[in-house]
Amino acid sequence: MLQTNLITFLIRRSLNAAITIFLLLFVTFTLIHVILPTPEAMAKIYVGDAHYTPSELQSIIVLYGLNKPLYVQFVSYVESIFRGTIMDPIYGAPVMSLVEKFLPITFELVVVVISVEVTIGVLLGGLAALNRGKALDWGIKALYLMAWAAPIFLWATLMQFFFAYDLKILPAMNVANPILVPPKPITGYPLIDAAIEGDWVYFRSVLKHMILPVVTLAMLGFGGTTRLTRSSTLRVMDKDYVKLAYMKGMSNGQVFKGTVLRNSVIPIITMTALHFGYAIGGAVIAEEIFLYKGMGFFMNQAIMNLDLPVVMTTTLLIGISIAIANLVADILYAVVDPRVRVR
């Protein structure tokens, strides 16, 4: 009974994710065509040069099939996305081959950010709840409100200045020390590649270069987790089974770990899936400041070059990866809490 419930749940959620991804494709396609309604307007984007002749424009319209009916264009759009054949007029290479190089770097960064953020958030949130109304509670609140309200470029610049330029203990920019030879890209993820090939010097360098961007991005998001952990901990603390645990003579830490955290973990999973999106959005700015050559950096270059195909494709891919992250969160949810499967 339980098993079939889980399976139908998984099928339904996967179906939902598939529909969402289809709609993502539809939305980006519609946006492009609402804003650039005529084939000529579309072609001007692809020219990549302000000086063009009408015949050049015509040849581009024919080349990209911009004068075909919209549904034909939509099918070929979806096809070109999945087969990775969208060409980039500026780099002269398929967009996918460029994205493949940059996307893993950002994903790696974001995964580290999320784990740091959740760890700090849960610890601080738990501390705040256990010390409710005391100075520590207020201190933690002041800390995360500040972190929340500051523009990300402020943290990034301040930290770059103090730790890299003033104290000189951390590198200011790049993914790794540019002197080192990067390991052969097997997975594309710098840390994993370095670990596979046993290149521990490079591994350490990547880790060291990651610290500042990770701290900056974690600042952006740990407040949400802290707040949520605090509130759900407080809610659980009123329950009888927690009082029982205290009566058994367990310490604060034991109760928090054994009883409270397990019950407040579910909203935290949802929150974390949401933060995946925020962190990627923040990475666009952090990567620009730290010259961290991942997706965000690449996207900024594309913005400056007015390279629409790259911007649209990266936007779409990020959307798809977030839809998948939400699906994973839903599945995790069902594994952690059987009650979810019913609805």
**Nearer Cβ to another protein (27/196):** 27
In the structure encoding, which two tokens stand for residue 326, read together? Answer: 């939400």
Options 60, 109, 128, 322; binder of another protein; rule CB under 8 A:
322
Instruction: Report in angstroms how near the CB of residue 46 gets to another protein at its nearest.
Output: 13
**How many C-alpha atoms does 231 have within 13 Å on its Cβ side?**
9
Which CA distances in Å does 184 have to 93, 97, 110, 137, 284?
A: 21, 16, 22, 48, 26
Options 65, 83, 139, 153; binder of another protein; rule CB under 8 A:
153
What are the phi and psi torsion angles at 87 (to 5°)? -90, 145
Options 7, 11, 23, 196; binder of another protein; rule CB under 8 A:
23
Residues in contact with another protein, shown as a per-residue x/- string from 218 to 257 under the rule CB under 8 A: -------------x--xx----------------------
Give the chain's count of helices (H) and strands (E).
14, 0
Instruction: Report in angstroms how near the CB of residue 300 gets to another protein at its nearest.
Output: 6
Cα R_g (the chain), whole angstroms: 24
Restricting to residues 32-71, name those near another protein by CB under 8 A. 32, 35-36, 45
What are the phi and psi torsion angles at 223 (to 5°)? -60, -45
Residues facing 87 on adjacent strands: 94
Neighbours of 342 (CB within 10 A): 8
Please report, as a single letter, which amino acid is at residue 38.
T
Instruction: Report in angstroms how near the CB of residue 316 gets to another protein at its nearest.
Output: 9
Residues forming contacts to another protein in the complex (CB under 8 A) are 16, 19-20, 23-24, 26-28, 31-32, 35-36, 45, 145-146, 148-154, 157, 161, 165-166, 231, 234-235, 277-278, 280-282, 284-285, 288-289, 299-300, 303-304, 306, 308, 311-312, 314-315, 318-320, 322-323, 326
